[in-house]
Amino acid sequence: MSLLPVQPDEFHDLAEGTLDISELEKRLRDRLEKQREQEQTMQIVKEQERRCIPVDLDAI
């Protein structure tokens, strides 16, 4: 597993010269930002779930 979200075909394209380093960097930054946003969303959902008070029919 790579520490950066680089796809195997991107390594190949980079070696072949069909992908330049600046485009690869842009892709990586976009993927890392998307991953960060997803993790943040998951954290918010977890916090909201912890705050929910269980309700049963008798409490209503």
Q: Which pLDDT tens digit goes with each residue over 12-54?
A: 999 999 999 999 999 999 999 999 999 988 888 777 777 766 7
Q: How far apart, in whole angstroms, are the C-alpha atoms of residue 11 and residue 17?
A: 10
The CA distance from 34 to 38, in Å, is 6
Rounded to whole angstroms, how far apart are CA atoms 2 and 51? 36
List the structure tokens of 52.
């929910």
Structure tokens of 54? Answer: 């269980």
Contact between 28 and 6 (Cβ < 8 Å): yes
pLDDT for the residue 1: 44
Give the count of beta carbons closer than 10 Å to the beta carbon of residue 41: 10
